[in-house]
């Protein structure tokens, strides 16, 4: 009988001393864990995670290029079908209120500077979670991970609902009824509001705007895109298994990430 493969981890930490310390402490606390790679910034963390497909990701919150949360979402977005998504441990110097939010969405969090005692508790939790996993990986686990990550930045439910979006186009403010919106796309600092008449920008996070719009059903199809379900004409699958949507009133296709591809598979 073949022996089960050793668990694998990828560490993302931009401070070399802290990265070496974490790897050393992991070696002491979990000798069976193989640290496959150490990333020094966010984009490299995404690349290495998708290359090695680890069981565990240790992600610094603040890294050059992309935050730990962005990395986690990007990894979940492109994680291959049939592979159980990684357990995520956030390594952070945030205060207790931020930590409480991360605790709801991650397998664990570790406060900097990492100590052997605290890491031992993390290792115990990770081992228990891995032992509970079924042998056959479930593709829907990736979507579940995305939902957990989205919970971190959920806006307060009591905010005023929006029926008309006030969006800027140069020096003009367009008054856009929510029902006219084809899709919403997150950019670095804005949300791009797409209608048949053109595109406009809103200075608000995608998550907040999506939670506050009223009267139209939108679904998330990518970590940075939501579409109006009434505008979806078809979903096309390419040879690599990626879907793109044809939307009424929009000439270009909208990409569907792997995490949400199950929404468009034939019944």
* pTM passes above 0.75: no
Q: Which domains are assigned to the chain?
A: 8-153 (3.40.50.2300), 164-264 (2.40.50.1020)
Query: Angle between the 96-105 and 140-150 helix axes, to the nearest 10 degrees?
Result: 160
Q: CA neighbours within 13 Å on the CB side: how many for 118?
A: 12
Residue 147's pLDDT is 56
Residue 9's pLDDT is 97
Nearest to 184 by CA among 169, 155, 205: 205
Mean per-residue pLDDT pooled into runs of 10, the chain (267 residues): 71 93 95 96 94 94 86 83 85 65 67 90 92 58 58 52 84 89 87 92 83 81 89 91 92 87 80
Q: CA neighbours within 13 Å on the CB side: how many for 138?
A: 7
CA 263, CA 267: separation in Å to the nearest integer? 10
């Amino acid at each position: 009988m073949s022996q089960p493969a050793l668990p694998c981890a990828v560490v993302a930490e931009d401070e070399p001393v802290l990265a070496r310390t974490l790897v050393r402490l992991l070696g002491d606390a979990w000798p069976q864990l193989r640290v496959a790679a150490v990333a020094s910034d966010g984009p490299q963390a995404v690349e290495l995670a998708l290359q090695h497909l680890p069981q565990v990701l240790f992600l610094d919150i603040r890294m050059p290029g992309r935050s730990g949360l962005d990395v986690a979402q990007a990894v979940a977005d492109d994680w291959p079908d049939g592979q159980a998504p990684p357990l995520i441990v956030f390594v952070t110097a945030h205060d207790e209120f931020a930590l409480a939010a991360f605790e709801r969405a991650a397998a664990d969090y570790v406060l900097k500077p990492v100590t052997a005692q605290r890491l031992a508790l993390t290792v115990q939790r990770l081992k228990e979670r891995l032992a509970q996993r079924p042998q056959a990986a479930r593709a829907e686990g990736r979507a579940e991970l995305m939902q957990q990550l989205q919970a971190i930045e959920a806006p307060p439910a009591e905010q005023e609902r929006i029926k008309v979006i006030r969006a800027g186009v140069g020096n003009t403010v367009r008054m856009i009824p929510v029902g006219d919106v084809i899709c919403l796309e997150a950019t670095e600092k804005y949300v791009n509001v797409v209608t048949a008449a053109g595109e406009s920008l809103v200075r608000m996070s995608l998550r907040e705007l999506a939670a506050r719009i009223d009267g139209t059903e939108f679904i998330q199809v990518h970590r940075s895109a939501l579409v109006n379900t009434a505008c979806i004409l078809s979903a096309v699958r390419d040879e690599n298994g990626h879907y793109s949507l044809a939307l009424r009133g929009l000439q270009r296709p909208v990409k569907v990430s792997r995490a949400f591809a199950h929404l468009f598979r034939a019944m």
